Amino acid sequence: MWIFIWEMEQFMKQIFLVEDDEKIARNLALLLRAEEFTVIHASTQKEAFAMCAKNQFDLALVDISLPDGNGFAVCTQIKETQDIPVLFLTASGDEASVVTGLNLGADDYITKPFRPRELVARIKAALRKAGTNSSSFKICGLSVDTASGVVKKDGREIFLSALEYRLLLVFIGSPKNIITRERLLNELWDAAGEFVSDNTLTVYIKRLREKIEEDPANPQIILTVRGTGYRLGGSHVSE
């Protein structure tokens, strides 16, 4: 057993990785760290139970085949103690394993070998889905109800495209941090399923501001940080 714990900031999501193959686990930890996640790793069912009892996670990646048990038991334990998404990792793609995992409450099922970008996209999708249980977010007369997907400006509903809404959720998810253009490009690329250029990002930022800002030429919600990216304005509350 080993633990990857980096200097954590409040916005970083914590991933629980249950994987007995040390090489795969280390590569996954490096991949997830690059995506601004923190990772805690267990290599056996026994270690996973102990970790689950004393830590709170945002998402679990669980290998089905473990040396002293299986990932199904770990999934059951996690679901009994924490309300988080569980994604199964396995070299087996047979229908029975898929059905068993999903019936236990797993949120997704990924067969090895998998593509890194696809895995990251599925993790982010599961986290977004889990986040729909969070409360509303308000800033400068704009309110976002993530449970219903409704966005209102001064009490009137406004309609955003799927990518505009995704872009807004990225800012809401990191309200105290500067968000680089590179990160935004990766987020939109994952959501769109196709390449998103730097010029396209500029267009989406402009369109979003036109819909949510009182004065798009003098934005108060999405602020530009020259040479770096953007950040959310300072007057915001989460309920």
Question: Does residue 201 contact residue 161 with C-beta atoms inside 8 Å?
Answer: no
* pLDDT one-digit tens code per residue, 72-111: 999 999 988 887 899 998 776 666 777 777 788 888 888 8
Confidence at residue 191, expressed as pLDDT on a 0 to 100 scale: 54
Report the predicted TM-score, pTM, of the whole model to 2 decimal places. 0.53
**8-state DSSP, 10:** T
**How many residues would you count in the chain?**
239
Mean pLDDT (whole number) for 122-146: 77
Q: How many CB atoms lie within 10 A of CB 132?
A: 12
The residue type found at 20 is D
| CB contact at 8 A, 85 and 104 | no
Instruction: Sheet containing 229-232: give its strands across.
Output: 179-180, 229-232, 222-225
pLDDT of residue 206: 95
- Predicted local distance difference test score (pLDDT) of residue 221: 94
- Indicate the range of 43-57, 85-99, 211-225 predicted with least confidence: 85-99
- Measured distance CA(121)–CA(105) in Å, rounded: 20
Model pLDDT, residue 148 = 73
Tokens of 155: 């009490």
Domains of the chain: 3-131 (3.40.50.2300), 137-238 (1.10.10.10)
Overall average pLDDT of the 10-16 stretch: 71
